[in-house]
Amino acid sequence: MKPLSEQLQTEPLALAKEQQVRHKLDLNLVRVFCCVCDYQSITLAAEHLCLTQSSVSNAINRFKILVGAEVFVRQGRGIALTALGQHLHQTLSPSLIDIEQCINSVKVFDPSKSKRVFHVSANESIIDLIEADIEKAVADKGVEIIFTEAIIEQENLYQALKKQQIDLALDIVPPTEAAFSSLQIATEKLVCVARANHPQFKHGIDEASYFAAKHLFYRLHRHNQRVAEIISTDHLPERHMYGEKSSLLTMLSGVSKSDAICIAPYTYAKSYQATFDLTLMDLPFESQLISIYSIWPTRNQQDPATIWLRKLIETTMEKVYLASSDS
């Protein structure tokens, strides 16, 4: 234990330092705090900010002194926000995004000179339909656009956007979090697909024969629903599973070699109809169109590079789906 004389000397100094921190607003502390909130991890936030973990921890401690209360608590091996921390994050994060957007808006982006590599997450059917056109569009540019197959779990998709592992996502469900922005860029109908010489569907398909058939399912779930449940306007009876595929292409191939049927996007199925000798039929129940959304972090709303990427994807999608509707 320190002698009383040393305590009397050090305690006022520590108190003075704490008061100095409280009275000095450092916006970097807010940025670090919001980043840790987004990642729920000191380690991941440090990686994103290109800082050491000790620097991030020190910044969080200074922020705690600034607000005069705990903002995080230990939860297992990780951390969780306190009620005050949640309030501060919800209040401060939009303002921080506004600042970032303002700064991004004055940047200049020239795709001919830039060497930037963009990453776009999309369903394989969309990649198949637009990748060649995108490649032609950037052939004389300095940029590169890499497509990665869609991240199936929605939470993982949003985390990839937050961590800047991808710049843009194309998905059928719009985000609800303010941290992400979206725009509907296309609509698509789904059709029932069977092999061309299927004995049961020479004259089309009705509801009874649809639900009596064996079905190949596509492994895509949103809100614990399959695609058919998402687009149907009514509750659907249980269907008999023949199998499940993680790829639309292998699903169409499987249908061409069996008596099973499947549901697939019309534009994509049409492009492979002759290849696999398929029959495309309207669904025998009331259904909605599938909407395709472009999704990006709201903080990049005014970023010229992201705007350029979004516009390129949007115009290419419009061209492809317009051509499909005319055929």
Structural domains present in the chain: 4-105 (1.10.10.10), 117-187+291-326 (3.40.190.10), 190-288 (3.40.190.10)
Model confidence over 235-261: pLDDT tens digits?
Answer: 666 778 888 888 899 999 999 999 999
Tokens standing for 96? 């921080």
Residue 175: partners with Cβ closer than 8 Å, 6 or more residues away: 158, 181, 182, 295
Residue 2 — pLDDT band, cuts 50, 70, 90?
very low
Kindly state the average pLDDT of the residues 98-108: 75
Residue 7 — pLDDT band, cuts 50, 70, 90?
very low
Distance CA 287, CA 290 (A): 9
Range name among 34-38, 249-253, 276-280 with the lowest pLDDT average? 34-38
Tokens standing for 61? 């401690």
Cross-sheet strand order for the sheet of 117-122: 144-149, 117-122, 168-171, 290-297, 180-188
Model confidence over 148-195: pLDDT tens digits?
Answer: 988 878 888 998 998 889 999 999 889 988 889 999 999 999 899 999
Tokens standing for 31? 């940025």
Distance CA 29, CA 34 (A): 9
pLDDT score for 245? 85
Distance CA 220, CA 171 (A): 11
Question: Strand 78-81 relative to strand 72-75: parallel, antiparallel, unpaired?
Answer: antiparallel
At residue 313, does pLDDT exceed 90?
A: yes
At residue 11, does pLDDT exceed 80?
A: no
pLDDT score for 107? 74
Model confidence over 188-228: pLDDT tens digits?
Answer: 998 999 999 898 898 889 989 998 999 998 876 554 455 55
At residue 273, does pLDDT exceed 50?
A: yes
Kindly state the average pLDDT of the residues 309-323: 91
Distance CA 287, CA 194 (A): 19
At residue 3, does pLDDT exceed 50?
A: no
- 280 forms beta bridges with 193
Q: Which single residue is written with the structure tokens 């985390």?
A: 159
Higher pLDDT, 138 or 23: 138
Residue 231 — pLDDT band, cuts 50, 70, 90?
low
Tokens standing for 120? 């776009």
